[in-house]
Chains A and B, each alone.
Chain A
Amino acid sequence: MMRIAVDDVSVTLSGRSILSGVHLVAGEGEIAGLIGPNGSGKSTLLRTVYRHLKPTSGRVLLADRDVRELAPAEAARHLAALPQERGSDFEFTVREVVAMGRSPYQRAFAGESTQDRAAVADALAQVGLAGHERRSFAALSGGERQRVLLARAFAQQPDVLVLDEPTNHLDVQHQVELLALLRAQRRTTLISLHDLNAAASLCDRLHVLHRGEVVASGGPRDVLTPELLAEVFGVRAAVVDHPLTGDPLIAFDHRSPVGTAPLP
């Protein structure tokens, strides 16, 4: 288990500032959520965490080590990412996709070790897809694909999971299933979510991004206030207790917009 911290990260792409001075943290075994409206920089921030983008300044610390100073394969043994990409149309089986998660552990020309096979079988079992190894990945439904990709990340046996809107395009049932899986994992997790109620129910801590800056951090109940929802998300909402779970429940007022936030 490791802690991941984003330390004063700024990103400028094509001369436009996307993130400025972002600080946030997901403690050991903690699920940290990243919320914010479209274009607030969530994906960009996560991309710097899993090393797809290089921050213009600042660092991403994995247990106090800068991820950019780690060898790529070593970083991938500690940190697994589930980007928004949804895979390819090439002819891979479910098992082949999940086995890709083992590549940070494998040398060129080497076959699979017993450990690799066990990790792949474990990961498939965790997402409930044991026995589906030979199905074609390209032919799966969106929900199944997402579970396979999550199993791929599990097969990396990472200390930290980074997920970019993993519930996008899933129906409600599959959303609930996927979040339950993450909750059961109890790994250090950094996850961006569109669905504020899902975030409130899943996350131990929330970070709110607005125009490239973190404007609030803390427990869901502290962060998700009607004032913040109005200011950052531009909606009128009440925050009540969920009648079944007791989690904060955001009840949006769909009739009266507060006014769209002007473009940055």
Chain B
Amino acid sequence: MAASAATRAGTGPGPEDPEIGAGSGSESEADSESGSEAEPKGGAGRAVRSVRSVRAGVVAALLGVALLAALTAAVSLGSVDIPVGEVWSVVGRRLTGGAAEPGSRDLIVWQLRAPRALLAAVVGAGLGLVGAAVQALVRNPLADPYLLGISSGASLGAVAAVVLGTGAGSAIGFGASGAAFAGALAAFALVWTMARRGGGFSPLRLVLAGVGIGQFLSGFTSYLVLQAGDEQQTRGVLFWLMGSLSGAQWSQLAIPAGAVALGLLVLQARARALNALLMGDETAAGLGVDVVRLRRELFVVTSLLTGVLVAVSGAIGFVGLLVPHACRLVVGGDHRRLLPVSALAGAVLLVMVDTVARTALDTQEVPIGVVTALIGAPALLYLLDRRLER
């Protein structure tokens, strides 16, 4: 971004800068994201607004196209590569209610890969969304959906189901998902009880309660992993802990998709309050936000959504941390833009990452959490570096 140099130049003058209004004005004019025209002072507000909105609109449109492309690639690529044209003809036939063409390709496209690609999109969207909301909730750009302990409860539930035998067969069958969601709710109840004391849900209390309870529950999970009977069970447990979308089925899509859509709606309605919250509790109160109530609502929404996501895919790391962070650099901190863009970007990212996870090795699938960590950690370091440089 050419802006960073200009921003530095613009902020160089410290408190002793004699006249901010005149001297550095031309510099900051030049630091516009689009490098656009100098504006007449009076019309500045309008021009700025349209630049930011147009930019966010363009980003959203590009992400929409990228999502379609990523979904197509995800369904097309795999142990058997299916040409893009055939992918769409199968999808078209299925969507228009045409009879399924007998043959393995229809099965691969419609029964195996399409639900998985869509689940990746839904989970990615959810993680991006929850990440942005949790970062506002605890007012920390390094927070992620798993900070508040919910995922630890979900993992414990799922692992218990696998190891203690209620989830017979597949590790990521419905039994384990149900147990995971139950675990998420239990963790939520514990953190809620701890965090609400002393007048309520301050960021520090939430984080301490979440981290403490998360660690406590992880202790149980580790113990259970050691108790895993055979190699099959151990692999199932590990896949759960690192996250996986391999259990995707059409029947499992509706609940997470509905939850993510509802979550986006609820959060988007509070976008301005989220902005105010980032400026501080007192500032938010002065702007007419009921801070304690807002935090309570945010905690409930993000926890339920996290519980649903982890129940269908395990705890996939880094997406919820990285995506809002990157999006903030592109469209800015205003949640009216950040929330939907984070959801879209999360969807694109996870579809792509899951495709890599499926196809990188010939012999076996790489757990998706391994791929997100390998890509996510360097990306995060790069972003941090750029951010701190400015």
Contacts and interface: CB of A to CB of B under 8 A. Distances in A.
A51 B282 CA distance: 9
Contact of B333 (A91, A112, A135): A91
Contacts of B278: 88, 90, 92
Interface stretch (B38-46, B94-102, B220-228, B242-250): B38-46
Contact of B290 (A72, A74, A140, A156): A72
B20 A88 contact: no
B45 A121 contact: yes
A161 to B, nearest CB: 10
Contacts of B279: 85, 87-88, 97, 100
A106 interface: yes
A103 interface: yes
Count class of interface residues, chain B: 35 or more
B276 interface: yes
B15 A50 contact: no
Given A85-B282, A90-B141, A91-B329, A131 B334 contact: no
B20 A92 contact: no
A81 B283 contact: yes
Interface string A69-100: 00111111101111111011111110111001
Interface string B276-310: 10111111011111110000000000000000000
A101 interface: yes
Given A121-B45, A128-B20, A174-B15, A87 B269 contact: no
A142 B333 contact: no
Interface in B361-390: 390
B282 to A, nearest CB: 4
Interface in A28-59: 47, 50-52
Contacts of A124: 44-45
Interface string B133-152: 00000010100000000000
B57 to A, nearest CB: 13
Contacts of B93: none
A50 B41 contact: no
B235 interface: no
Contacts of B103: none
A256 interface: no
A92 B44 contact: no
A71 B328 CA distance: 32
A128 B41 CA distance: 11
B7 interface: yes
B21 interface: yes
Interface in A137-196: 139-144, 156, 162, 170-171, 173-174
A131 B328 contact: no
A130 B271 CA distance: 26
A247 interface: no
A104 B288 contact: yes
B268 interface: yes
A103 B275 contact: yes
A106 B41 contact: no
Contact of B282 (A74, A81, A131): A81
A117 B46 contact: yes
A174 B49 CA distance: 29
A139 B48 contact: no
Contacts of A75: 288
A144 B19 CA distance: 11
A103 B44 contact: no
A24 interface: no
B238 to A, nearest CB: 36
Contact of B7 (A71, A129, A131, A139): A139
A134 B48 contact: yes
Contacts of B86: none
A140 B51 CA distance: 21
A120 interface: yes
A8 interface: no
With a 10 A CB-CB cut-off, give which of A90, A130, A173 has the most chain B CB atoms.
Answer: A90
A108 interface: yes
B282 A52 contact: yes
A103 B16 contact: no
A90 B328 contact: yes
B44 A131 contact: yes
B287 A103 contact: yes
A81 B286 contact: yes
Contact of B141 (A89, A100, A162): A89
Interface of B: 7, 10-11, 13-17, 20-21, 25, 28-29, 31-33, 39, 41-42, 44-46, 48-49, 52, 139, 141, 268-273, 275-276, 278-283, 285-291, 328-329, 332-334, 390
Given A52-B282, A108-B268, A143-B15, 13 more contacts: A52-B291, A72-B290, A81-B282, A81-B283, A84-B282, A85-B279, A85-B281, A89-B141, A96-B334, A104-B288, A117-B45, A139-B7, A143-B20
25 contacts: A50-B286, A71-B288, A72-B288, A75-B288, A81-B286, A85-B282, A88-B280, A89-B141, A91-B328, A91-B333, A93-B332, A95-B48, A95-B49, A100-B287, A103-B289, A106-B272, A108-B269, A108-B270, A124-B45, A129-B21, A132-B25, A133-B48, A139-B10, A142-B15, A174-B15
**What are the 7 tightest A-B residue pairs by CB atom distance, in nearest-first order?**
A76-B288, A81-B286, A85-B280, A83-B282, A73-B288, A121-B45, A72-B288
